[in-house]
Amino acid sequence: MSVNMMEVKNIEKSFGVGEKKLQVLSNVSFRVKKGEIVTLFGKSGCGKSTLLNIIGGFEKAEKGSVLHNGEPVIKPTKSCVMLFQQINLLPWRTVLKNVELGLEGEKSPADKQRERVIDALKLVGLETSLDKFPHELSGGMQQRVAIARALAIQPDVILMDEPFAALDSFNRYNLQQELLRIQEKKNTTIVLVTHDIDEAVYLSDRVMVMGSHPGRIQKEIAITQMKPRDRTHGDFQYFRRKILDEFQLSTERIAPEYNI
């Protein structure tokens, strides 16, 4: 049975006051089931990050609510962690110590915490780099450390705000593949923000295409191609085009067999 992990209900959000008031989100609602990867996809400025911040409890909505496991989200918690594009590792701490940082303040025994940290670093393939410092790692490896830090916390949900945007395409493809492997193993629920269409199609179970001014859910597209997905397969191109069509950016006609 599928369970709703996150429920976003009728979110409204504006910034500024008076004449300078800007409505950023209007009537945004959707649900995320346990183990799903749901992507918020839209043009720059359509409110993706604002929405993700509201889901994570970093920002307050004016109206509406976010429920995590049926409980209202009113502040950030360790059961829903955010992974940013800016990696935010502490340069004076080793890989091991950077990942341990996520567990600081927890009351569980130190040996159990260490076990979780090592497990998370094994999952991202960095178990042989425990004593390295961030400056000794590539950008891709640094983002792996950040992913391990999030995984070690063992959250129900990971929120990702363009986590791979700063990486070159080889590192990006590699990490996307890794993320799927880890996500499948742990059945982690992920809400991802991206404006990279390939990333959206490669990773998502569902893509929430957002319209702008104000930001809203324009269309929900289920990506039904089997994972792991072949980026060159016709099905991949079909879903790519289906998303592009929402922005009138597709020049090719959809193959007749896909017409509904």
Structure tokens at 169: 């395409």
Q: Cα–Cα distance between 205 and 37 in angstroms, integer? A: 5
CB of 239 to ligand ATP, least distance (A): 21
Region binding ligand ATP by CB under 6 A among candidate stretches 4-12, 40-48, 114-122, 171-179: 40-48
Q: Is 49 in the site for ligand ATP (CB under 6 A)?
A: yes
CB of 190 to ligand ATP, least distance (A): 17
Q: Cα–Cα distance between 182 and 73 in angstroms, integer? A: 26
104, with CB counted inside 10 A (0-12, 13-18, 19+), is exposed
Q: Is 197 in the site for ligand ATP (CB under 6 A)?
A: no
Residue with tokens 């929405």: 51
Sheet holding 22-33, edge to edge: 22-33, 4-15, 63-68, 71-72
Region binding ligand ATP by CB under 6 A among candidate stretches 30-38, 42-50, 217-225, 236-244: 42-50
Contact map string, positions 1 to 20, toward ligand ATP, x by CB under 6 A? --------------x-----
CB of 171 to ligand ATP, least distance (A): 20
Of 48, 172, 240, 241, the one binding ligand ATP (CB under 6 A) is 48
Q: Is 24 in the site for ligand ATP (CB under 6 A)?
A: yes
Residue in 7, 139, 185, 165 with CA at minimum distance from that of residue 80: 7
- Residue (49 or 129) nearer to ligand ATP, CB: 49
Q: Is 26 in the site for ligand ATP (CB under 6 A)?
A: no
Ramachandran quadrant class, 105 (left: phi over 0; alpha: psi -120 to 50; beta: rest)? left
In sequence order, what E strands does the chain have? 4-15, 22-33, 37-42, 63-68, 71-72, 80-84, 157-161, 189-194, 206-211, 216-222
CB 216 within 8 A of CB 27: yes
Region binding ligand ATP by CB under 6 A among candidate stretches 38-46, 71-79, 124-132, 142-150: 38-46
Structure tokens at 214: 């104000």
- Residue (48 or 242) nearer to ligand ATP, CB: 48
Q: What part of residues 177-196 is at the interface with ligand ATP (CB under 6 A)?
A: 195
CB 12 within 8 A of CB 27: yes
- How many residues form the binding site for ligand ATP (CB under 6 A)? 11
Of 2, 20, 21, 44, the one binding ligand ATP (CB under 6 A) is 44
Q: Is 232 in the site for ligand ATP (CB under 6 A)?
A: no
**Interaction site with ligand ATP (CB under 6 A):** 15, 24, 42, 44-50, 195
